[in-house]
């Protein structure tokens, strides 16, 4: 690797806020050197609907991050979310060519190409090809099967694809700042990589990144992502329900949700009331706390139910020993872990960043941006690996993730 | 279940989305970044050019200044002298003339001084010396060709034959074939101007060279009889006088073209061949009239020429 560090910007264009983290990557280590945030405008359910407004906010966040870092960003890793993202599973199988049945690189390449070869409908583009573990004569091989003996080699890919225009919208926002998008990473993969350990992923774990406009999920099995998905549901739906149910403005409803909203019912007393502002000023009024909890818990339960239905047969409590991990801004809703545990029938807890992450970046709102940096670098390294086989880049990354 | 991947369908990736820079679509911050990156690129190119120029200058300075050359370049003595010339000088003459010190290396040679040594010989018109590392000194010469020859006293009673080039430079010829030199006319004795001991170029030689060249080309049989060329009347009368081996004097005017004068001479000479008395003087400098003087009887030698006893004038009509 070059001794010149690369300055990477991890950008998450979310429905409620835009987060930028700046990382200085030396080829061995990654240091977070800057952070920028801006309230989001022109973004609905994770998709850009007003390029000008979204660009202004994103550029402001980028500028803030660059200023804090004291460095200009070289490349951008962009988080991708939105209801347009879909996924499917496809498998490839090859017979091992060698007479002695020793699997070589040609066999591996052939089976991977076959598994990835699937025509997409017009206007759809691949965002990720997520490989599941290889199987040699039905036997699970978590790492590379190169050199193993077998007659049949199989592999499956979970392919995530999205609408071309929607993908280009996000990229164009970054291009407007004269930066290039080097990696486009699914938000759920980025967040999932940050809040789970390799052991959890090996045992099976479901990560739910519940944002304001979307809920991204990723189910890990056998150490690798098995299924991903995005639902156009999030914290704003809870706010909307409160707003409609209690006849409040969105700002007031959001305030109530953050202060008194819960994902489960704990208040027994119907007459227990809470103040909207609590400052006894004119216009301040009282609301029954149980009503607030009822509205938010029903919606939260419904949201989790939808995720479970979308996962279908892919999710089974016995295949998800590490349970459910919740992250994202809406994961801060009180009682959501208990509700998730009831809905999925497994243990659930709030995701936490690894211990080496600085205190000011441990908020669930940064998990996706942090994961973007680490997952993006790791994805980039995998692509570059053939050119630098055994080089310091890959070794450095392995060391980097060893502690996760 | 085979390895044939040729017909596998291809799915477009997000990487196929073009990411061109369109300044119009850039925000203000983006435009500033674009400008800054252009500035950085420009600065980098300028710095690279500056470094390249510096390296080139240093290399050139090292090449030209022997003192700055590395010791290794100075160590090898000159082994070869490569002579390239368009004339008659040879390698032996070059070795004698340059007289390089033994074991001198290329970088120790003062090329300007050596070039002056070469140019001191009038036969050398231009000289170029080049160091060809590690051990060859290349010398390129352009030489003068003689037009006439002359005999002069170089001092101390030593009379020597010298050659005169078209540009009037007087030099001691080297390497010329004797037949070639014997065919050259003599220049009538004249006082040679000297500055700091060096003979100065003779004025009027370009005219003589032009006359002789034309005569040799147009009337070779007449030119073969020419023995002496005199410039005595050049300055005062604009005349060049040629004396033949038979003692006749032919006067050419330098104000007119030589070609018509030679044509008239050819015609007159044919007419005079029938006469019993040889001509003593033919004057071609007067235009259409060519006065010819005759001696009383054939003379044994030019020195014994007698006053003219008779004369005749040829008149030529201008061509229609």
Q: What is the mean pLDDT of each run of 10 residues along chain B (320 residues)?
A: 59 85 74 84 94 90 64 72 89 88 83 90 91 86 91 77 89 87 84 79 87 87 87 84 88 87 86 80 84 69 50 66
Chain B residues closer than 8 Å to A95 by CB:
1-2
Specify whether A207 is located in the same domain as A351.
yes
Assign A384 a pLDDT band (cuts: 50, 70, 90). Answer: low
Six-digit token string for B248: 């006749």
pLDDT in tens, A262-314: 999 888 888 888 887 777 777 778 888 899 999 999 999 999 999 999 999 99
Does B1 contact A95 at a Cβ distance shorter than 8 Å? yes
For residue B2, which residues of chain A lie inside 8 Å, CB to CB? 94-95
Domain contains A48: yes
Please report the pLDDT score of residue B239 as a whole number.
87
The DSSP H or E segment spanning B132 is: strand B124-132
How large is the angle between the packed helices B91-98 and B111-119, nearest 10 degrees? 120
Please, which residues have CB within 8 angstroms of residue B273's CB and are 6 or more apart in sequence? none
Q: What residue ranges do the domains of chain B occupy?
A: 76-143, 146-315
| Among B7, B10, B11, the residue to mutate for chain A (most A Cβ within 10 A) | B11
Partner residue opposite A117 with nearest CB, options B8, B33, B37: B8
**Residues A109 and A58 reside in one and the same domain:** no
Let me know whether A192 and A220 are in one domain: yes
Please check the confidence at residue A36 and state whether its pLDDT lies above 90.
yes
Considering the domain architecture, whether residues A70 and A197 belong to the same structural domain is answered as: yes
Q: Could you tell me if A62 and A91 lie in one domain?
A: no
Residue A399 has pLDDT above 60, yes or no: no
Last residue of a domain, one of A111, A138, A163: A163
Q: How far is CA B50 from CA B38, B43, B59, B229, in A?
A: 18, 10, 14, 63
Does any domain span residue A314? yes
Query: CB distance B5–A120 less than 8 Å?
Result: no
A387 lies in some domain: yes
Nearest Cα to Cα of residue B91 among B104, B76, B80: B80
Do the domain assignments include residue A284? no
Interface residues on A facing B, Cβ-Cβ cutoff 8 A: 55-56, 59, 62-63, 72, 93-95, 97, 106-107, 110, 113-114, 116-120, 124-127, 152, 159, 161-162, 164, 167-168, 171-172, 175-181, 184
Q: Has residue A325 got a pLDDT over 90?
A: yes
Domain check: are A194 and A317 in the same one? yes
**Are A14 and A158 contained in the same domain?**
no
CATH code of the domain in which A204 resides:
3.30.420.40
Among candidates A251, A246, A293, which has minimal Cα distance to A269? A293
Domain count, chain A: 2
Q: What is the mean pLDDT of residues A87-96?
A: 92
| Residue at a domain's end among A163, A187, A205 | A163
pLDDT digits (tens, 9 = 90+) for A159-209: 999 999 999 999 999 988 889 899 899 999 999 989 999 999 999 999 999
CA B11 to each of CA A114, A124, A126, A164, B4: distance values in angstroms, whole numbers, following the listed order: 12, 8, 7, 12, 17
Q: What is the pLDDT of residue B208?
A: 87
Asked if the Cβ–Cβ distance from B30 to A95 is below 8 Å, we say no
Residues of chain B with Cβ-Cβ distance to A116 below 8 Å are: 11
- Contact (Cβ atoms closer than 8 angstroms) between residue A213 and residue A236: yes
Contacts of A127 in chain B (CB under 8 A): 13-14
Domain annotation covers residue A261: no
Which region among A55-59, A146-150, A242-246, B276-280 has the lowest average model confidence (pLDDT)? B276-280
Does residue A238 register a pLDDT over 50? yes
Chain B residues whose C-beta is within 8 A of a chain A C-beta are 1-3, 5, 8-14, 16-17, 19-22, 25-27, 29-31, 33-34, 36-37
Residue A6 Cα, gap to closest chain B Cα (Å): 16
Which residue, A112, A135, A163, sits at the end of a domain?
A: A163
Nearest CB neighbour to A117, from listed B9, B19, B30: B9
Q: Which domain holds residue A102?
A: 86-163
- A219 & A323 share domain: yes
Domain-located, residue A51: yes
Are A211 and A332 members of one domain? Answer: yes
| Site from B16, B26, B27 to mutate, A interface, most A CB atoms within 10 angstroms | B27
Please give the pLDDT value at position A127: 92
3-class DSSP assignment, residue A258? helix
Classify domain B146-315 at the CATH class level. Answer: alpha beta
The CA distance from A108 to A155, in Å, is 9
Looking at per-residue pLDDT, the higher value among A361 and B3 belongs to: A361
pLDDT band at A340 (very low <50, low <70, confident <90, very high): very high
Specify whether A67 is located in the same domain as A150: no
Of B159 and A346, the one with more pLDDT: A346
Would you call A94 and B1 a contact, using CB atoms and an 8 Å cutoff? yes
Determine the average pLDDT of the residues in A243-250: 88
Residue A88 has pLDDT above 70, yes or no: yes
Same domain flag for A92 and A70: no
Chain B CB contacts of A97 below 8 Å: 3
A334 belongs to a structural domain: yes
Question: Does A403 score more than 70 pLDDT?
Answer: no
For residue A404, what pLDDT band results from cuts at 50, 70 and 90?
Answer: very low
DSSP state of B278: -
Q: In this structure, what token pair is assigned to residue A159?
A: 């392919």
CATH number of the CATH domain containing A118: 3.30.1490.110
Q: Which CATH superfamily is domain B76-143 in?
A: membrane protein fhac (3.10.20.310)
Q: Which of A167, A12, A163, A58 is nearest to B18 (CA)?
A: A167
């Amino acid at each position: 690797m070059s001794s010149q560090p690369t300055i990477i910007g991890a950008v998450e264009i979310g429905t409620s806020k835009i987060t930028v983290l700046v990382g200085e990557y030396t080829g061995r280590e990654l240091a977070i050197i800057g952070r920028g945030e801006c309230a989001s405008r022109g973004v609905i359910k994770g998709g850009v609907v007003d390029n000008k407004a979204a660009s202004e906010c994103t550029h402001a966040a980028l500028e803030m991050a660059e200023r804090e870092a004291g460095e200009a960003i070289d490349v951008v890793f962009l988080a991708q979310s939105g209801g347009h993202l879909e996924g499917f599973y496809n498998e490839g199988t090859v017979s091992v060519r060698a007479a002695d049945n020793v699997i070589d690189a040609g066999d591996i390449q052939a089976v991977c190409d076959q598994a990835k070869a699937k025509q997409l409908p017009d206007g759809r583009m691949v965002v990720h090809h997520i490989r599941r573990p290889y199987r040699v004569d039905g036997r699970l091989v978590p790492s590379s099967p190169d050199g193993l003996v077998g007659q049949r080699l199989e592999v499956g890919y979970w392919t995530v694809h999205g609408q071309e225009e929607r993908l280009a919208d996000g990229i164009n926002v970054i291009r407007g700042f004269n930066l290039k998008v080097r990696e486009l990473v699914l938000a759920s993969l980025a967040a999932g990589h940050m809040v789970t350990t390799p052991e959890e992923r090996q045992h099976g774990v479901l990560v739910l990144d519940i944002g304001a406009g979307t809920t991204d999920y990723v189910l890990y099995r056998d150490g690798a992502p098995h299924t991903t998905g995005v639902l156009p549901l999030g914290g704003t739906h809870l706010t909307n329900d409160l707003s409609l149910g209690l006849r409040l403005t969105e700002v007031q409803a959001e305030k109530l949700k953050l202060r008194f909203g819960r994902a489960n019912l704990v208040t027994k007393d119907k007459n227990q009331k809470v103040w909207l502002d609590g400052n006894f000023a004119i216009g301040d009024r009282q609301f029954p706390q149980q009503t607030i909890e009822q509205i938010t818990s029903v919606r939260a339960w419904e949201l989790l139910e939808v995720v479970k239905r979308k996962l279908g047969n892919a999710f089974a409590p016995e295949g998800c020993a590490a349970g459910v991990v919740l992250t994202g801004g809406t994961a801060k809703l009180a009682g959501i872990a208990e509700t998730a545990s009831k809905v999925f029938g497994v243990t659930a807890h709030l995701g936490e960043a690894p211990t080496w992450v600085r205190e000011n970046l441990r908020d669930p709102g940064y998990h996706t941006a942090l994961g973007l940096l680490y997952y993006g670098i790791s994805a980039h390294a995998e692509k570059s690996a053939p050119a630098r086989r055994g080089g310091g880049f890959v070794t450095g990354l392995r060391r980097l993730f060893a502690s996760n | 279940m085979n390895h044939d991947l040729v017909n596998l369908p291809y799915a477009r990736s997000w990487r196929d989305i073009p990411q061109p820079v369109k300044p119009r679509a850039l925000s203000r911050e983006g435009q500033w970044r674009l400008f800054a990156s252009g500035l950085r690129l420009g600065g980098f190119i300028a710095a690279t050019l500056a470094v390249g120029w510096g390296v080139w200058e240093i290399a050139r300075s090292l090449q030209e200044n022997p003192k700055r050359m590395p010791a290794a370049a100075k160590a090898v003595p000159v082994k070869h002298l490569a002579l390239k010339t368009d004339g008659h000088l040879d390698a032996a003459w070059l070795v004698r003339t340059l007289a390089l010190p033994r074991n001198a290396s290329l970088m120790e040679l003062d090329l300007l001084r050596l070039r002056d040594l070469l140019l001191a010989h009038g036969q050398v018109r231009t000289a170029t010396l080049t160091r060809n590392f590690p051990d060859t000194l290349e010398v390129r010469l352009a030489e003068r060709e003689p037009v006439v020859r002359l005999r002069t006293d170089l001092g101390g009673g030593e009379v020597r034959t010298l050659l005169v080039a078209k540009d009037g430079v007087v030099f001691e010829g080297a390497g010329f074939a004797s037949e070639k030199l014997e065919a050259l006319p003599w220049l009538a004795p004249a006082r040679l101007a000297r500055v700091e001991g060096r003979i100065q170029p003779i004025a009027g030689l370009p005219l003589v060279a032009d006359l002789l060249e034309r005569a040799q080309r147009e009337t070779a049989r007449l030119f073969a009889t020419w023995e002496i060329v005199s410039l005595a009347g050049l300055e005062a009368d604009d005349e060049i006088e040629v004396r033949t081996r038979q003692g006749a004097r032919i006067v050419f005017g330098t104000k007119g073209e030589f070609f018509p004068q030679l044509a008239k001479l050819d015609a007159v000479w044919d007419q005079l061949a029938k006469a019993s008395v040889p001509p003593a003087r033919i004057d071609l400098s007067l235009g259409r009239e060519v006065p010819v003087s005759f001696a009383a009887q054939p003379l044994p030698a030019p020195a014994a020429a007698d006053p003219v006893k008779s004369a005749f004038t040829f008149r030529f009509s201008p061509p229609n």
